[in-house]
Structure 1
Amino acid sequence: MSIEAERYDNRQRIIETAKERILKYGYRNLRIDDITNDLQISKRTLYEIFSSKEDLVRELFQQSHDILSNEIQSVLSNIINNDEADFLVELRKLWTIVKNHTEIVSNQLFADIKTVFPDLSCKRQDFEDSIKSNFDEIYKIGITKGIFKPNMKSELFFMIHYYALSSILKPEIIAQSSLSIKEILDGISNLLLTGALTEDAQKKYLELTEI
């Protein structure tokens, strides 16, 4: 492996380890010593890549934002431009993309670091506005394809999905749960996309609402 390739590999490993620790323990408990111990690298190696913990967190946030934006745009482009694309399959892809990135913009993270990085609060709003805009476009397409009910507001569709994740993915909640992060994310996904009721129960509930 070349020096440049090794440096890039270390950079990504450091970012991923920092992300895992922030999600599990919160930003205030993020320690450079813990990251280097986890990765079995020296502090010198880390500081050759990131000048400080703050520099690392900024890069982590920006990278997550850029990757998420690009992946969402890819799904949206496929839905709009590919007549052969299965909308529900693409919707599932979209949910997977969002759930894999939402934890890094969770309420807990920003509660911890907003005093250290006040500018990131603006970035978070830009981040949410971007996702909301894409969800709105996809929802409108879903209505024309007969996938979504036309009487449900796209804003509500976005809020249910996005804020369900950002509210649950908090260190104190995850720490108390016997479920893994993957199990939590998959469970939320299944509940929101398929509903909590069985088909028979859904029919019965609809009958009750007509009484």
Structure 2
Amino acid sequence: MSGTCRETVEQQAYLTRHLLDYTAAPVVGGTFLRGVVPTRDTVRIVTGASDAVAPDALTVYEVPLTDDDGDPVTAPLVLGWVRTLAAGTPPRSDEFVMGMALLRVDTSLVEPAPPTPADRVLRVLRTLAWPFTESPPSPPLCGFLLGQGDRMRLYIAVEEANGVIGVDVRLTGALTALLAALPTLVHEKERWAHDPDPHCTHTIDLTTW
């Protein structure tokens, strides 16, 4: 994996880790995080109601991974931009991805919303309970998308795939065993399949594993 690609994966994995709380706590009002999906140069933040999974009920905000100075954007900044946009009526979009309305964010025109008291609480607790380590999770989780019923697609960077693999899992069943086996299963090329999802190079169906 090239240096640039590795930096992108690390940035997407960082953003995913630090935005996960907003699947349970609202981003703003009644809008929740329903997914974080990776692309080569951006991160796509999927939002909707707390139980929304139908594509036409979801909005995707595409945010660049770097700021105007070329520095990596931070999770609070991404959250602030999305919060500002989601607080109002989203502008009409003529672009769609996987059936979801896609809005490309011009960050120079959007004032990020300031952190909320809940954001500050989460920052303190996360720092103390989940301290930084020099050995991040491997393979890195670069995103996810909640699906119908108890399904979820995990976007995992796999070096042999030259990119990201979408892994479909169920949230019920033998989760402990599945999570323990996942780092091995994603490298088994016989499981790789092609999928129209533009956010990954291959998919693996582990919903019946």
TM-score by length of 1: 0.22
TM-score (norm 2): 0.22
Higher percent of residues as strand: 2
Structure of greater relative contact order (alpha carbons < 8 Å, 6+ residues apart)? 1
* Structure having the larger proportion of residues in helix: 1
